[in-house]
Each structure stands twice: as structure tokens, then as C-alpha cells.
Amino acid sequence: MQPVREVQIRRIWDQHICLPLDGSIPATTLRRSRDAGAYYVSVNVGFAPHDAEAAMRSLTQFRSDLAAQPDDFLLVESASDLDAAAESGRLAVAFDLEDARPLDGDIGMVEAYYRLGVRTMLPTYNGRNEYGSGCLDPEDQGLTARGRSLVAEMNRVGMVVDGSHCSVRTSMDMIELSATPMIFSHSCCRAVWDHPRNVTDEQIKACAEAGGVVGICGVGIFVGPNEIGADAIVRHIDHAVQLVGPEHVGIGTDYAFDLEDLQRELEQSPHLFPEAYTRWGPIKFASPEDFSAVPAALRELGYPDGAVAAIVGGNFRRIAESTWKPIAG
């Protein structure tokens, strides 16, 4: 168990959050996460519909927005920046990719994204691509040879390997192959709510056995039948803890700051968002404020302070400290 040293009980590490990628909302909107108790957030900068040009445009815009407000935000380069941000009351920010398409087929792009603050990447988003299978594919073929090369390059650079949105076999292949612990940045538990985007007990156990962390999200259709709120989220957290212990569970809210933008994405990309996403109507999201109630809800269940601190922040920080590498040159 990681001691309560770098994370106060109510300070949240959010492993995945979503701003609209068209630049319609400035990245400084992330003050809301800070004010709700987050000290670190990972912001998505691209997924399956986006090529390198689109992802780099979003990444450049977000970095510019945040750099213009140095008293509020710190763009993270190394794990040591986390303490600097916390001590000064700033929100530490890094980025992630939810699919490997923004590489434009060039695995060498991994290092370029890493240098710009991308610290986590998924190879696939729901459907199969040249790197592996997604969680909604009717046939699960696992990682491809190209996907294996991608994992090796991510390990070399220091980027965290992420299995959310991937198929069961793809994620299990990554767990076996990766030289560093793999995570599920924003996935709920399929044993609690049977949705194809949620992860199985087998995946959770394998991830934990390899030293990884499962981040529980607050997307209503993954939590339950479009259900949100701290108690609903804690059901998934507690299930994962009962399986693998509090050392391997974290938070990745997957909160969407612009629900209208998300609805347009759903309507424009039915191949990525089939009936399993749309059957309950507009998707509800647990807000940063909802997640701020999670620490108290865990304590009400009898969780000791050390376990709460590990779940809301310490575990994902441990992954960052053991995986991120200094930027050479």
C-alpha cells in the first residue's frame, strides 16, 4: 500500500477527461476540475476519427491555453512536476490519445507526442484497426504484429499503455507484452454492469497481477442504465477492490465538458457508437463535483485513509513515477 504522502485524501488524480476537440471550449475550463478537488488531469487530444494533423492541432491549442495561465496550470513533463503543482495550488495537466490513428501509421510519432505531453495511449478505440481489436468487435483477434511494435515503442519512450476501449484479448496481449504496468484509464466493471465497454474480472485481475491500475469512470451507460452519482461509482470501485485490493484501483472520470459536442460525435460516427451507446438516449456523465464526493463515500464503507488516498490519487501516480522517462535532448 502506498503511504499517504503525496496525495491528500480529497485530492483526485483524473486519468482521463474530455474537452471538445474543435477548440470551442478553452482548456482553462479545467479550473472546474481543480476546484472540485483534482490535482492532476489527463486530457484527451484525439481518437479514432482523428489523424495526426487534427490531434496535433488540438494538442497545440490546449497547450497554448494552459501555458497562458501559469498561475493556475502546470504542463507536466516529469513526475517531479506533480509536487511542484500541488505545492503551488496549480492543476497538473498531461494528455492522452484514445486510439493510435493519430500516429498516421508512423510508430515513430509516439516520441513526438510524448515530447508534447502525451503520457498515455490506447491502440484501438472500440473497433479494429492496424494495431488490434476493439471492445465492440464481433471477432476478437487481439494485438497485431504492428500493435506489438507499438507497445514496445511506448515502453521505450516512457508512455503508459492503456487498454480501455480495447478488446479482451488485445488488452490481455498488452498486459503480457508490456515491460511496464498497463492500465485501464477509464473503464467500469462488467460484473457490476454488463456493458461491452466495461472490463471483465479476468482483465482486472491480470492488470493488477502485472502491477497495473483500473480507473473507474463516471459515464452513465457504463456505470449502470445511464446512472450517475458517487454511490453508483463506488459500487464499481468496491467491486474492483474486492478483486485485487485498493492498490490497483483509481479514477478516470471520462467527463465530457461539452455534451452537445459529444452528441454530435455519436450521431456522426455510428460505426464507433452503436446501439450499446445510444439505447438510453443522451448519455449522462458524473461531474467533477460528483467525483469529489467519492472519498467520503469510500470512508463511509469503512475504507481507511491510506486506501482512499491510494484509490483517488496514489495508485496512478505510482504508475507515472515508474513509467514516465526523462525527455532526452
User: Domain-by-domain residue ranges, the chain?
Assistant: 12-323
Residue scoring higher pLDDT (288 or 269)? 288
- DSSP one-letter code for 61: H
H or E segment at 102? none
List C-alpha distances in Å: 173 to 76, 191, 211, 229, 323.
Answer: 29, 21, 15, 33, 19
Model confidence band, residue 202 (pLDDT cutoffs 50, 70, 90) = very high
d(Cα 241, Cα 227) in Å, to the nearest integer?
Answer: 21
Model confidence band, residue 118 (pLDDT cutoffs 50, 70, 90) = very high
| pLDDT tens per residue, range 213-238 | 999 999 999 999 999 999 999 999 99
d(Cα 311, Cα 247) in Å, to the nearest integer?
Answer: 7
Taking 60 as the threshold, does the pLDDT of residue 3 lie above it? no
CATH classification (class only), 12-323: alpha beta
Taking 60 as the threshold, does the pLDDT of residue 9 lie above it? no
CB 44 within 8 A of CB 16: yes
List C-alpha distances in Å: 117 to 61, 99, 106.
Answer: 13, 16, 18
H or E segment at 97? strand 91-97
| pLDDT tens per residue, range 100-115 | 999 999 999 999 999 9
Taking 50 as the threshold, does the pLDDT of residue 6 lie above it? no
Q: What is the arithmetic mean of pLDDT over 122-146?
A: 97
pLDDT at position 10 is 52
Long-range pairs of 49-54 with CB within 8 A, sequence gap ≥ 24: 49/101, 49/265, 49/269, 49/272, 50/21, 50/99, 50/101, 50/102, 51/101, 51/102, 51/104, 52/102, 52/103, 52/104, 52/106, 52/109, 54/21, 54/102
| pLDDT tens per residue, range 160-179 | 999 999 999 999 999 999 99
Q: What is the arithmetic mean of pLDDT over 121-138?
A: 97
Mean pLDDT across the chain: 94
| pLDDT tens per residue, range 59-89 | 999 999 999 999 999 999 999 999 899 889 9
Contact partners, residue 140, CB within 8 Å, separation at least 6: 133, 167, 168, 169, 170
